[in-house]
Structure 1
Amino acid sequence: MDTYDILLYAGYLLIAVGAVVAIIMPLINSLDNPKSLLKTGLGIVGIVVLFFIAYSVSSNEVLPKFEADPFNLTPQGSQLVGGMLITTYILAIISLLGIVFTELNKAIK
């Protein structure tokens, strides 16, 4: 059992190191080209704005079976989950439309 614990902690460490490297390295590379950092910032701001629109549209209704244990879902939590789901759906649709548009554009050329 101790071997599993050690390997799990090693996995957690590798995930944390990977996440830090994935965040820090693009920032270091963007110091050479600040315009790329501006594009990244605009993308992040766009996703945040999209999330707040989706959050304001989503419902905060909680069914009684989700209010009790083990879920203990609050209306705020329900609205947060709804906002995340709507944001995910919108981003997936935008991605699929972009893929279809790109493929059609390449087929026409």
Structure 2
Amino acid sequence: MDSIDIFLYVADILVIVGIILAVVMPLIKSFDDPKSLLKSALAIVVLAALFFIAYSISDGEVLPKFAKEPFNLTEGMSKFVGGSLIMTYVMTIVALAGIVITEITKAIK
């Protein structure tokens, strides 16, 4: 084991610690203001509902060449990827619309 392997393991550990802190610290801070937990829960519910809608309208069709080795793509996996793509498209459009609306309202004021 040389130093590169050690640094890769350290980097993995630091990323995991960073992810844990990014989730836990806002939760600890939000216990001071329980209403912020309600807003966060509402946002998660809205995102879950949006994903359910996107998953429902996505197509699960798999071309024969992707159903074989090395991909082994199933209908469920294809539907999940399609739902994720549709959700990404919708969220991108919502974000861009929000940016445009914010800039227009700032220009009017």
CA RMSD of aligned residues (A): 0.9
Equivalent residues in 2 for 1:55-66, closer than 5 Å: 55-66=55-66
Instruction: Identify the residue that residue 69 of structure 2 maps to in structure 1.
Output: 69
Following superposition of structure 1 onto structure 2, how do residues 86-97 of structure 1 map, counting pairs within 5 Å?
Answer: 86-97=86-97
Instruction: Answer yes or no: is 1:20 the counterpart of 2:33.
Output: no
The number of residue pairs the alignment matches comes to 109
Per-residue CA deviations over 1:50-88 (Å, capped at 9, x if unaligned) read 000000000000011211121110000000000111111
Gaps of 5+ in 2: none
Where structure 1 has 5 or more consecutive residues not aligned to the other structure, the ranges are none
Match of 2:31 in 1: 31
TM-fit CA distance, 1:5: 1.5
Quick one: which amino acid aligns to residue 87 of structure 1?
M
Q: Which residue of 2 aligns with 1:4?
A: 4
TM-superposed deviation, 1:2: 2.3
Q: Equivalent residue of 2:90, what SS?
A: helix
How many angstroms apart in 1 are the aligned matches of 2:80 and 2:53?
A: 12
TM-score by length of 1: 0.96
For residues 106 and 100 of structure 2, the distance between their equivalents in structure 1, rounded to whole angstroms, comes to 10
SS in 2 for 1:69: coil
Structure 1 residue matching 2:81: 3-state secondary structure: helix
User: Which sits farther off after the overlay, 1-10 or 13-22?
Assistant: 1-10
Residues in 1 aligned to 2:32 and 2:17: alpha-carbon distance in whole angstroms: 24
Q: Give, in whole Å, the separation in 2 of the partners of 1:38 and 1:27.
A: 12
Identity of aligned residues (%): 58
CA distance in 2, matches of 1:13, 1:93: 35
| CA distance in 2 between partners of 1:93 and 1:29 (Å) | 31
